[in-house]
Amino acid sequence: MRRRTTLALWTIFDERQRPLLSRPATDVDLAWLTQADAQRLIDDMLTTMRQAEGVGLAAPQVGQGLRLAVISPDVDQTLPAPLVLVNPVVQAIGLDQEIGEEGCLSIPGVYGLIQRARQVQLTATDRTGQPYRLTATGLLARVIQHEVDHVRGVLMIDRAERITHGQNRLS
């Protein structure tokens, strides 16, 4: 079995890394997704997220400009396994919004209060290329929106109404 690899986390504090974190990522080619290097990247992102004790991680955060993200099953008890989001699209359901505190692995030490849709529908493809749809509320809805923002080049500090000094888990 291959050794587990932890990837370097890119941060906005590094001038060479910030541009990739701030621009829209590229669609994942579903033919490439079946290849070993794509599956390895997903495995390494999962390992990196766990190692960093994050609740989510998007590919640009490890230097890959791809519309790909993972979310920890710790976020929601309805998740039986980590969620892999390939080419994700998110849509708000209803008009209800909630303010909550978020942190980001790409902006260490900074937390912010961010208004997000309370309920969303995620449309994405899983790691085998199967399309799926998921309705989420609460923390899972928030983390999905945070990760989909990442693949669009939007960072939580772009949305934060107020910067805080919280202790929340990062994504």
Q: Which residues bind Ni ion (CB under 5 A)?
A: 104, 171
- Report the residue number, 23 or 128, with the smaller CB distance to Ni ion: 23
Q: Tell me how crowded residue 2 is: count the other CB atoms within 10 A of its CB.
A: 8
- Report the residue number, 80 or 114, with the smaller CB distance to Ni ion: 114
Q: First vs last Cα of the chain: how many Å apart?
A: 28
Closest approach of Cβ 58 to Ni ion, in Å? 7
Query: Rounded distance, CA 171 to CA 84, Å?
Result: 14
65 with 59: CB under 8 angstroms? Answer: yes
Query: Rounded distance, CA 65 to CA 67, Å?
Result: 7
- Report the residue number, 28 or 52, with the smaller CB distance to Ni ion: 52
Closest approach of Cβ 91 to Ni ion, in Å? 20
Q: What is the DSSP string of 83-138?
A: EEEEEEEEEE-SS-EEEEEEE-TTSTT-EEEEEEESEEEEEEE-TTS-EEEEEEEH
Decide if 53 is catalytic. no
Closest approach of Cβ 106 to Ni ion, in Å? 5
Q: Long-range pairs for 94-97 at CB < 8 Å and ≥24 separation?
A: 94/118, 94/119
- Report the residue number, 52 or 104, with the smaller CB distance to Ni ion: 104
Closest approach of Cβ 170 to Ni ion, in Å? 7
Which position among 15, 53, 98, 147 bears the catalytic label? 147
As annotated, the active-site residues are 147
